[in-house]
Amino acid sequence: MPLPRSLARFNRVVTNRLARPVAGYLPGTAVVEHRGRRSGRRYRTPVLVFGHAGGYRIALTYGPRTDWVRNVRAAGGCTLHHRGRRIDLVDPVVGRDPAAGWAPPGVRRVLRATGSVEFLDTTVAPPSRPGPPGPAPIA
């Protein structure tokens, strides 16, 4: 079972506010930027993240039913702020690995001990192509 909801509420109010400014720069951490499904409001959530086959794998320490995961899945993607870069991600898919074999050994032990064995796989969005050229200037 993932971490308790009461801890999630505390983290959202206290810990996330402290972690957000640095999470986008520290190894193994990032900030997921997403929009609320109903409100349209922009949110920024600190996460544990790891590179994975053309994209990123995000540890779901509170499980797949959290608001931010539901927002990202409903939108079909999000923006990841990782090591000072902004990366657009698409195709979010929730997975589960009871062994947490995809995580580095130290993180793997913590994820297994807390029962946080779900993850969100994402793909890096292809670069956007410029639109068709506008009308030619009048000479």
- Given a contact cutoff of 8 angstroms between Cβ atoms, the answer to whether 118 and 95 are in contact is yes
Q: 50 in a domain, yes or no?
A: yes
Question: Assign residue 53 a region: left if phi > 0, alpha if psi is -120 to 50, beta otherwise?
Answer: left
Q: Domain for residue 110, yes or no?
A: yes
CATH number at residue 62: 2.30.110.10
CA of 50: how far to CAs of 11, 56, 58, 104, 138, in Å? 21, 6, 6, 9, 51
Please indicate, yes or no, if residue 130 is contained in any of the structural domains: no
CA 83 – CA 26 distance, rounded (Å): 6
**How many folded domains does the chain comprise?**
1
What gap in Å lies between CA 51 and CA 79, rounded to an integer?
15
Query: What is the C-alpha to C-alpha distance for residues 99 and 117, in angstroms, rounded to an integer?
Result: 7
Query: What pTM was estimated for this model as a whole?
Result: 0.79
pLDDT digits (tens, 9 = 90+) for 44-101: 999 999 998 899 999 999 889 999 999 999 999 999 999 989 999 999 999 999 999 9
Residue 134 lies in a domain: no
Residue 137 lies in a domain: no
Confidence of residue 26 (pLDDT cuts 50, 70, 90): confident
CA distance 23 to 123: 20
Query: Which residues, in sequence order, are bridge partners of residue 96?
Result: 118
Structural domain span for residue 103: 5-124
Residue 134 banded pLDDT, cuts 50, 70, 90: low
Residue 57 lies in a domain: yes
Q: Is there a domain that residue 98 lies in?
A: yes
- Kindly tell me the burial class for residue 67, based on how many C-beta atoms sit within 10 Å of its own C-beta (0-12, 13-18, 19 or more): middle
